[in-house]
Amino acid sequence: MSRALIAAVALLFAHESPAQSTVVFSGVSVIPMDREEVLANQTVIVENGRITHVGAARQAPAGALSVDGRGKFLVPAIAEFHAHVPSGSQAVHAHRTLTLYAMAGVATARGMLGAPLHLALRDSIARGQLLGPRLLTSGPSFNNNTATSPGAVMAMVREQKAAGYDLLKIHPGVPRIAFDSLAATANRLRIPFAGHVPLEIGLDVALTSRYSTIDHLDGLVEAMYAGPQPLTPQVNGFFGLGIVRQLDQSRFDAVVRRVRASGVAMVPTQILMDNYASDATGDALTALPEFRYWVPQQVAAWRTNKNGLVSQPPAPADQRAEFIALRRRFVKALHEAGVPFLLGSDAPQLWNVPGFSAHRELGALVAAGLTPYQALRTGTVNVARFMGEEGRSGIVRTGARADLILLDANPLQDIANTLTIQGVMLNGRWIGPAERERLLNALANP
């Protein structure tokens, strides 16, 4: 796409954002997220995109918009660290995607399949011209078609760094010889790389070559594989579903230790696996309320896909259950060991409606054994620390970026309560119940 066309598309999406410069939440219960605590009856003042007061009632600045927070809970907005923003032939859905992230209280999204359009969208959002989460974006994917030789990957890394992408996206199929050049060049140019762990690379090389994040827990199940070599994608199946009966269970602890020692962060996208392996029909999955906001043809395709998986399962029920149990054991053990976890669900992707699926992922993390507080941290303070913004984002505290969600019910009691959204604030812009409903209704299918 030409630069002019990109600018034109970005402008199409842009609209006036009548940002109130000062907003006061009064009588609200604050969940600051730097400790597991609910601060009752707080006044929170936001001015020009920053939180300027959290505490006792205080005279509202002149011209401030007042939000009655009595009976409600104010939490930091969350991040989606395995996001996708449609591009190319799907670019027409980019605006819907960004709006849904915003309406679900996703204030920061890391796009994992980048295109030039995303650089323009990222900048328009940052300038306040376009409603959406603060974007980080990878460049176009490194895979078996693009990353074919050391020379090809070195050129790609340099081009993506120069174009201003935030990170590189690794897909399956990158051969070892190309990967080594990719990692060396990326580390030299200081551009992070993240995503899948190609079978030919394997977990240990991924860890030592300093992946920024490993997504989907890719490569962990494979690191326990004790069956016939070489392990092929066909035998491995969906993230190792095919090999769960051929694992050396004694390696589990060593895998956890090695991941911990590497410092590499995990973006598990567990909800994707839970849905893939479950017995829920496509009709049941796509009957969840958020699906009416997504592109009808894609919802229909997701429904058909999942109904097909139920009628012709990719593995017997007990094998699928073992796969999910092992992944949950990994989530719990890695988290307990101190491995950094970042919230990511992979949306829009099978059965994941942008924004809302990040909340479903919180539930999947709790199902794996995290407490609601620990799960919420993966989308708030953990992301801030990862981005070098500890105390300045992902937290309700004076001086922090004003990315907030106002909830009807306490998420520390039940993680499902993160979906009881009253309103959202992105970078200081408040979208209250009426405006939120109007924006969501505009996207709803009849």
| Binding positions for Zn ion, rule: CB under 5 A | 112, 346
Q: In what order do the strands lie in the sheet with 134-137?
A: 78-83, 106-111, 134-137
Contact 69, 25 (CB under 8 A): yes
Strand order in the sheet with 265-267: 168-170, 193-195, 213-215, 265-267
Residues making up the chain, counted from first to last: 446
66: β partners: 24
Nearest to 377 by CA among 390, 367, 73, 40: 390
How far, in Å, CA of 51 to CA of 142, rounded?
Answer: 40
Amino acid at 74: L
Question: Whole-number minimum distance, CB 361 to Zn ion, in Å?
Answer: 13
Nearer Cβ to Zn ion (105/111):
111
Residue 42 CA to residue 411 CA, distance in Å, equals 17
Q: Closest approach of Cβ 389 to Zn ion, in Å? A: 24
CB 340 within 8 Å of CB 315? no
Rounded to a whole number of angstroms, the minimum distance from the CB of residue 143 to Zn ion is 12
Output 54 or 147, the one with its CB closest to Zn ion: 147
Residue number with CB closer to Zn ion (352 or 418): 352
Q: How far is the CB of 382 from Zn ion (least distance, A)?
A: 19
Strand duo 213-215 + 265-267: pairing: parallel
Reference 267, options 340, 197, 370; nearest CA is: 340
> Rounded to the nearest whole angstrom, what is the least distance from the CB of residue 9 to Zn ion in the complex?
22
**CB of residue 77 vs Zn ion: minimum separation in angstroms?**
21
**Least Å distance between CB 48 and Zn ion?**
35
Q: Which is nearer to Zn ion, 97 or 427 (CB)?
A: 97
DSSP-derived 3-state class of residue 380? coil
CB of 171 to Zn ion, least distance (A): 9
Q: Which is nearer to Zn ion, 112 or 170 (CB)?
A: 112
Q: Is the torsion defined by CA of 127, 132, 133, 138 positive or negative?
A: negative
Q: Which C-beta is closer to Zn ion: that of 358 or that of 404?
A: 358
Look at the block and give the residue holding tokens 């009064």: 26
Q: How far apart are CA 99 and CA 439, in angstroms?
A: 8
Cβ proximity to Zn ion, 138 vs 393, nearer residue? 138
Which one, 112 or 365, has the nearer CB to Zn ion? Answer: 112
CB of 196 to Zn ion, least distance (A): 9
**In the complex with Zn ion, which residue's Cβ is closer, 44 or 364?**
364
Q: Give the residue among 103, 99, 72 at the shortest CA–CA distance from 436.
A: 103
Strand pairing category for 193-195 and 168-170: parallel
